[in-house]
């Protein structure tokens, strides 16, 4: 349910000083204040209505009405600010009262007054309907709050109904059996974690019924948690399954309170080695309700818990590592598909169908539930129908609603209200797209999904949200950064389909791509286009989506087939907050871009841009500006007016390894006024540095190119020592005297230095907490490893082209104590590399590229190291 974040964002905007004064000056302060109060009340009510909406049509309709009103009010405010924007250069607030107020502005003032009065009447109406239709009391019944009120009875499981086609989890089963019958004597909680449909229950049933497990425990009980239990109901179910009681005793259990039930179960289990399975646990409160009923008498008793939420598993037993279930590999997927599709057929898959069958299986991406459902579907179809199924695979999954969509929907329903828009937003990216964590968080911030929390930055709040989605198995980590943070994520295709379908249902987002036609986009607040759309489509969208807030265009076009576009087609979307265009062949942004005053996120990647217009300085709300081009990009000095700017990134389009394009900042911009700036990447040194670089004390990430003459070197090195918050630094230049300029940057953990080092570095000159170092064109003649191996926190080292021009390198016995990744690339003179025993004890990956003179690798490189060599 997405009305609450919408209302919350709107209430937050009412606090904006500019909006408050503007509303007061048009004589509607009382009305707006009344609307604000009503929305604040609705905001708290909607949080409780979140779960109730799933099974209550009246609440669902009421929530839709609230969302519609919030959108209407937001449109009124944004449109009004847009209309008065041209007056701001000569005094915005004073001009509102001016006797020479422009007629068009008078019309705008009258229109907003009329709209606000109309919205007030609508709010009054739906408030009355809330009472009329009996939806005043939401979220009652505290006893049931933890046990998944939205979960349905059909999810109940029984250990006696086993899945006959157990495929692909043999190693998982073996490992779990050993954890149950071996290990420490204390009562452990062994958790099986994974997304819906991954096979947690299937595997656990097999485990529960394994002979060795059955013989090892005196008592076995299987409890399904996915029912609408209250605390007392749940404990009664546990008591009935964990004890052998007479009819009289069972009747007594019906009369016991919560405390008595816990004591009864604990008393019965006290002298037994028991195995209890708690299947499908969603909330940590469920474990709190039961844990005291399971005594720990150090006899090897075990509780097995299946969950989609890793946090629940760790909460139940922080000392027991959760067993995270992987997706099936391609061969196991094919084997499971064969069992479901050709059950009872000795011949298996016909040879002429195998290629098509494997393509279908590939679209399931290793999710057992998807494979089982699609296999069962094909088992009832003629071979000639398989190709149609393959083409419409997403539709077929929708047809399997009871088995797939509803199971995955449970995970969505269980999300807290603040995570729901964050999850639905994932559908805005193309299929199989690696989701960059930083970009995702910046987009969430621009959309208003992230709320300030104490003294934390919005980026920190976003990281927590991302981690929570990962813990809940809604997305998976694709790649970690050198600092062990989350670099990129991926989402399973079925969960992506779920996010798109739910987003469309909630009128949150619509996606255009070549295989799907969207009949109407008039109500869309966010629109994603994932194909090479024609200009006619863009033009039609301008007229059909007047209230669009986010537009993301990811064209699948080769930039070498560049098409000149004379007109920037998206200026018509006046209320945009997010504009993200990729592979759109534009050569310039028009000055009209400065009219999009509500923009918070602007990204133009893989373009042919040569400069940004000076009007871009009018984007006072912009938080993130990302531009990649095949040309150097001139940046106007007006960038200094963008006081909300947090991330400014200019870089080369195409191959990111070669930085041939940079941002050229013109004139003397007052960048020191941008107090929030955290990222300033890939800009050339220039006059702008003289007055402000050392004042950008909140910078976390900096990338800069010094000129060949060294004109600005002194200014750079004098300024860099003042940037105490710097975490990542990329500097390219002609010559560097030493590393000593960076040694006082205690937070700096990533350093890339491209240019000649006139002096061989000493270990004491490096930042003390450096974890990643990349050198290129350093032209070091003395072995750099003798120095670098003393850096105790270094985990990633990349020595690139001409970083070392000598013939011998050596690593001593205690060298590189934490190094995990080592890259040696284009060290053309390197002939010999010696490694003493005990060096690089943590090394996992070694890559050697184009070092032709290095004929053999040291024998001391351990067998556990993954070695990749490219000649």
How far lies 376's CA from each of 28, 371, 380, 425, 792, in Å? 62, 8, 7, 32, 56
pLDDT over threshold 90, residue 833: yes
Torsion sign, CA atoms 562, 568, 570, 575: positive
Residue 644 is predicted with a pLDDT of: 92
Confidence of residue 783 (pLDDT cuts 50, 70, 90): very high
The CA-based diameter of the chain, rounded to the nearest angstrom, is: 95
Residues 236 and 261: beta-carbon distance below 8 Å? yes
Mean pLDDT of 273-300: 90
Residue 727 is predicted with a pLDDT of: 94
Q: b/e map of 320-357 (b: 16 or more CB within 10 Å)? A: bebbebebbeeebbbbbbbbbbbeeeeeebeeebeebb
pLDDT over threshold 60, residue 52: no
Residues 197 and 498: beta-carbon distance below 8 Å? no
Residue 564 is predicted with a pLDDT of: 47
Q: Which is nearest to 668 in space by CA: 707, 702, 640?
A: 640
Residue 609, both tokens: 């841009």
Q: How far apart are CA 274 and CA 220, in angstroms?
A: 6
The dihedrals phi and psi of 533, each to the nearest 5 degrees, come to: -70, 155
More reliable by pLDDT, 778 or 741? 778
List, in sequence order, every residue forming a beta bridge with 756; answer none if it has no partner: 735
Residue 561 is predicted with a pLDDT of: 39
More reliable by pLDDT, 195 or 731? 731
Q: How far apart are the first and last CA of the chain?
A: 55
Residue 189 is predicted with a pLDDT of: 95
Mean pLDDT of 802-806: 95
Confidence of residue 141 (pLDDT cuts 50, 70, 90): very low
Residue 149 is predicted with a pLDDT of: 38
Q: How far apart are CA 199 and CA 280, in angstroms?
A: 11
- Per-residue pLDDT reduced to its tens digit, 708-722: 877 888 889 889 989
More reliable by pLDDT, 236 or 193? 193
pLDDT over threshold 80, residue 625: yes
Q: Which of 241-245, 406-410, 434-438, 568-572 has the lowest mean pLDDT?
A: 568-572
Mean pLDDT of 672-685: 88
Residue 401 is predicted with a pLDDT of: 47
More reliable by pLDDT, 256 or 622? 622
Q: Which is nearest to 648 in space by CA: 674, 615, 629, 687?
A: 674
pLDDT over threshold 80, residue 558: no
Residues 511 and 490: beta-carbon distance below 8 Å? no
Mean pLDDT of 62-86: 73
Confidence of residue 733 (pLDDT cuts 50, 70, 90): confident
Residue 87 is predicted with a pLDDT of: 43
Radius of gyration of the chain (CA): 31
pLDDT over threshold 80, residue 592: yes
Residue 366 is predicted with a pLDDT of: 87
Mean pLDDT of 56-65: 74
Question: Three-state DSSP class for 330?
Answer: helix
Q: Which is nearest to 482 in space by CA: 706, 748, 157, 705?
A: 748
481: Cβ contacts below 8 Å, ≥ 6 apart:
487
Residues 143 and 232: beta-carbon distance below 8 Å? yes
Residue 653 is predicted with a pLDDT of: 72
- Per-residue pLDDT reduced to its tens digit, 353-379: 888 888 888 888 888 877 877 776 677
- pLDDT exceeding 90 applies to what percent of the chain? 28
Mean pLDDT of 774-784: 94
More reliable by pLDDT, 50 or 776? 776
Q: Helices (H) and strands (E) in the chain — how many of each?
A: 28, 28
DSSP 45: H
Q: Which of 133-147, 258-272, 550-564, 622-636 has the lowest mean pLDDT?
A: 133-147
pLDDT over threshold 50, residue 142: no
471: Cβ contacts below 8 Å, ≥ 6 apart:
309, 310, 311
DSSP conformation letters of 345-379:
-TT-S-HHHHHHHHHHHHTTTT-HHHHHHHHHHHT
Locus of tokens 């310039």: 588
Alpha-helix residue ranges (DSSP H) falling in 614-760: 688-692, 713-720
DSSP 678: -
| Mean pLDDT, the chain, whole residue set | 80
Mean pLDDT of 741-748: 89
Residue 681 is predicted with a pLDDT of: 92
Q: Which of 94-98, 347-351, 524-528, 841-845 has the lowest mean pLDDT?
A: 94-98
Structure pTM?
0.75
Residue 774 is predicted with a pLDDT of: 95
Question: Three-state DSSP class for 769?
Answer: coil
Residue 725, both tokens: 């918050």
Q: How far apart are CA 438 and CA 429, in angstroms?
A: 14
pLDDT over threshold 90, residue 797: yes
- Catalogue the long-range contacts made by 512-516 (C-beta closer than 8 Å, 24 or more residues apart): 512/537, 513/430
Locus of tokens 């209200």: 417
Confidence of residue 627 (pLDDT cuts 50, 70, 90): very high
Q: How far apart are CA 684 and CA 707, in angstroms?
A: 8
pLDDT over threshold 80, residue 34: no
Residues 754 and 781: beta-carbon distance below 8 Å? no
pLDDT over threshold 70, residue 158: no
Q: How far apart are CA 827 and CA 806, in angstroms?
A: 8
Locus of tokens 């393509």: 359
Q: Which is nearest to 781 in space by CA: 756, 814, 817, 751?
A: 756
Q: How far apart are CA 512 and CA 536, in angstroms?
A: 14
DSSP conformation letters of 250-261:
HHHHHH--HHHH
- Per-residue pLDDT reduced to its tens digit, 387-400: 877 776 654 455 44
- Per-residue pLDDT reduced to its tens digit, 455-511: 888 999 999 999 988 888 788 888 888 777 899 998 877 788 888 888 888 788 888
Q: Which of 57-71, 86-100, 445-459, 740-754 has the lowest mean pLDDT?
A: 86-100
Q: How far apart are CA 854 and CA 828, in angstroms?
A: 9
Q: Which is nearest to 166 in space by CA: 210, 136, 135, 130?
A: 210
Q: Which of 94-103, 196-205, 566-575 has the lowest mean pLDDT?
A: 94-103
pLDDT over threshold 90, residue 839: yes
């Amino acid at each position: 349910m997405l009305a609450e974040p919408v209302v919350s964002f709107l209430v937050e905007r009412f606090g904006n000083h500019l909006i408050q004064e503007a509303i007061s000056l048009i004589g509607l302060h009382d009305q707006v204040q009344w609307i604000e109060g009503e929305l604040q009340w609705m905001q708290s009510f909607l949080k409780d209505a979140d779960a109730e909406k799933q099974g209550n049509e009246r609440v669902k309709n009421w929530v839709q009405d609230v969302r519609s009103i919030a959108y209407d009010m937001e449109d009124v405010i944004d449109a009004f600010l847009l209309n008065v924007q041209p007056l701001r250069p000569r005094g915005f607030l004073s001009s509102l009262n001016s006797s020479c107020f422009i007629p068009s502005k008078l019309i705008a003032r009258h229109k907003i007054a009329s709209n606000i009065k109309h919205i007030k009447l609508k709010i009054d109406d739906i408030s009355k309907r809330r009472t009329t239709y009996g939806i005043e009391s939401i979220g009652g019944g505290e006893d049931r709050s933890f046990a998944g009120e939205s979960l349905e009875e059909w999810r109940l499981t029984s250990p006696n109904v086993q899945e006959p086609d157990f495929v692909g989890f043999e190693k998982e089963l073996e490992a779990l059996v050993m954890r149950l019958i071996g290990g420490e004597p204390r009562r452990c909680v062994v958790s099986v974690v994974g997304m819906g449909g991954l096979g947690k229950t299937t595997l656990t049933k097999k485990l529960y019924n394994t002979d060795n497990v059955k013989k090892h425990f005196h008592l076995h009980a299987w409890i399904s948690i996915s029912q609408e239990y209250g605390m007392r109901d749940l404990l009664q179910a546990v008591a009935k399954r964990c004890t052998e009681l007479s009819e009289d005793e069972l009747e007594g259990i019906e009369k016991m309170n919560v405390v008595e039930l816990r004591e009864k179960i604990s008393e019965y289990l006290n002298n037994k080695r028991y195995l209890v399975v708690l299947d499908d646990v969603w909330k940590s409160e469920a474990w709190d309700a039961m844990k005291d009923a399971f005594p720990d008498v150090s006899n090897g008793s075990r509780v097995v818990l299946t969950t989609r939420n890793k946090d629940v598993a760790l909460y139940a037993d922080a000392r027991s590592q959760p067993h995270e279930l992987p997706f099936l590999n391609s061969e196991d997927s094919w084997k499971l598909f064969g069992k479901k599709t050709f059950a009872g057929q000795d011949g298996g898959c016909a040879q002429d169908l195998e290629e098509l069958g494997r393509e279908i299986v590939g679209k399931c991406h290793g999710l057992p539930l998807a494979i089982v459902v699609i296999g069962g579907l094909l088992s009832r179809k003629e071979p000639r129908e398989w190709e149609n199924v393959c083409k419409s695979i997403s539709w077929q999954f929708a047809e399997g609603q009871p088995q797939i969509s509803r199971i995955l929907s449970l995970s969505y329903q269980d999300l807290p209200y603040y995570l729901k828009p964050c999850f639905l937003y994932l559908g805005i990216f193309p299929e199989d797209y690696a989701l960059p964590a930083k970009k995702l968080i910046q987009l969430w911030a621009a959309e208003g999904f992230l709320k300030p929390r104490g003294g934390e930055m919005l980026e920190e709040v976003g990281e927590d949200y991302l981690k929570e989605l990962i813990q809940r198995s809604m997305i998976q980590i694709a790649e970690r950064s050198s600092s062990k943070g989350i670099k990129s994520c991926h989402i399973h295709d079925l969960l992506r389909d779920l996010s798109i379908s739910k987003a469309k249902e909630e009128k949150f987002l619509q996606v255009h791509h070549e295989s799907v036609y969207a009949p109407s986009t008039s109500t869309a607040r966010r629109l994603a286009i994932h194909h090479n759309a024609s200009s006619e489509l863009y033009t039609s969208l301008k007229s059909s989506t007047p209230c669009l807030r986010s537009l993301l265009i990811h064209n699948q076009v080769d930039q070498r087939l560049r098409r000149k576009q004379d007109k920037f087609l998206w200026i018509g979307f006046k209320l945009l907050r997010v504009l993200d265009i990729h592979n759109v062949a534009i050569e310039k942004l028009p000055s009209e871009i400065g009219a999009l005053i509500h923009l918070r996120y602007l990204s133009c990647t893989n373009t042919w841009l040569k400069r940004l217009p000076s009007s871009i300085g009018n984007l006072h709300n912009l938080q993130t500006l990302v531009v990649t081009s095949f040309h150097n990009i001139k940046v106007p000095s007006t960038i200094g007016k963008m006081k909300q700017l947090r991330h400014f990134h200019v870089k080369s389009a195409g191959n990111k390894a070669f930085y041939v394009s940079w941002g050229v900042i013109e004139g003397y911009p007052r960048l020191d006024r941008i107090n929030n700036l955290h990222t300033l990447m890939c800009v050339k040194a220039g006059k702008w540095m003289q007055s402000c670089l050392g004042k950008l004390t909140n910078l976390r990430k900096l990338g800069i190119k010094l000129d060949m003459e060294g004109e600005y070197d002194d200014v750079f090195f004098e300024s860099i020592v003042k940037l105490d918050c710097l975490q990542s630094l990329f500097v390219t230049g002609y010559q560097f005297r030493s590393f000593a300029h960076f040694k006082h940057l205690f937070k700096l953990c990533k350093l890339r230095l491209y240019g000649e080092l006139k002096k061989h570095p000493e270990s004491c000159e490096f930042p003390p907490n450096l974890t990643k170092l990349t050198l290129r064109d350093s032209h070091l003649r003395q072995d750099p490893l003798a120095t670098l191996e003393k850096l105790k926190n270094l985990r990633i080292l990349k020595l690139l082209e001409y970083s070392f021009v000598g013939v011998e390198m050596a690593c001593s016995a205690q060298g590189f104590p934490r190094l995990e990744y080592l890259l040696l690339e284009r060290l053309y003179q390197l002939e010999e590399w010696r490694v003493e025993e005990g060096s690089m004890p943590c090394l996992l990956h070694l890559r050697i590229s184009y070092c032709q003179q290095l004929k053999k690798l040291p024998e001391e490189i351990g067998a556990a190291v993954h070695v990749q060599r490219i000649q």
